[in-house]
Amino acid sequence: MNNFDTNQERRQIRSISDTNSFLTKMYALMGIAVLVSALTSYLTMTVFRSAVMQMPVAMMWLILLVPFALSMGISFKANRNPAASFIMLMILAVIYGFEFALIAGFYTGTQLTTAFVSSSAVFIAMAAFGTFTKKDLTNWGSYFSAALFGFFIAWIVNMFLHNPTITYIFSFIGVIIFTGLVASDANKMKMIYNNYGNQVSTNGLAILGALQLYLDFINIFLFILEIFGYGNNNN
């Protein structure tokens, strides 16, 4: 998702206050994206419910595919055009919020709330670890990214098998993988800023970091939601 090598030994070029300012901006952007998704989901389930029910199936598929293009666009444009990348991030948050509303109909309010609180707790703990640890977690990112690749291949295969027990087990694996990626991504963005902060757009880098952490969070949320909903779906 970026062109920086965090393994290179470089002198830290940013002060602690500069780094804290950057991290605050990155997490604020990520938080805004989550709030936009939550608001969109709420409006979709209430104000725009009837319109959504009449939406063509082709439009639904288009909405499901657009986030991939937006994520790639943000990754390539963040450094060159932070303003456009921020707009794309907000559009991405709106689309995911819409998709969450469609998923929410299969779960109870208690399950949704519990999953969100649990996901937030996991995210905050691992983001704090990744941010404040003095260790280089680059290897974590490599290992968990490789695990993620294999995981999604297995997940796609299981989509055709429709085995709920395997899906349940995969949900735990997904939580573990994305939990590790939260710490790795938080650590990576801090290192990139400290080592390359004078070579790139700070706003663009913050948006890129917010995107990665936002995607980590929503995946943790969806997998935890699947775990909490498993027992209810099998009663």
Query: CA 100: distance to chain centroid?
Result: 13
In a domain, 116, yes or no: yes
Question: Could you state, in chain order, the average pLDDT of each consecutive group of 10 residues for the chain (235 residues)?
Answer: 49 72 95 96 84 72 83 89 94 93 86 93 95 87 88 85 85 94 94 83 93 96 89 53
pLDDT of residue 31: 96
Q: Can you give the pLDDT at residue 8?
A: 46
Determine the Cα–Cα distance for residues 209 and 189; give it in Å rounded to an integer.
Answer: 6
* 206 assigned to some structural domain: yes
Q: Which of left, alpha, beta for 136 (phi over 0: left; psi -120 to 50: alpha)?
A: beta
Nearest residue to 64 via CA among 31, 22, 17, 96? 96
6 inside domain: no
Residue 95 tokens, joined = 């689309």
- Looking at residue 78, what is its pLDDT? 86
What value does the CA radius of gyration of the chain take, rounded to a whole number of Å?
A: 18
How many structural domains does the chain have?
1
Residue 62 lies in a domain: yes
Measured distance CA(45)–CA(88) in Å, rounded: 23
Range of 194's domain? 16-233
Query: Do the domain assignments include residue 8?
Result: no
Domain membership flag for residue 37: yes
What's the confidence (pLDDT) of residue 116? Answer: 93
The total number of residues shown for the chain amounts to 235
Report the distance separating Cα 78 and Cα 203, nearest Å: 8
Residues 6+ apart with CB under 8 A from 223: 171, 172, 174, 175, 178
Please check whether residue 174 lies inside any domain of the structure.
yes
Q: Does residue 25 lie within any of the structural domains?
A: yes
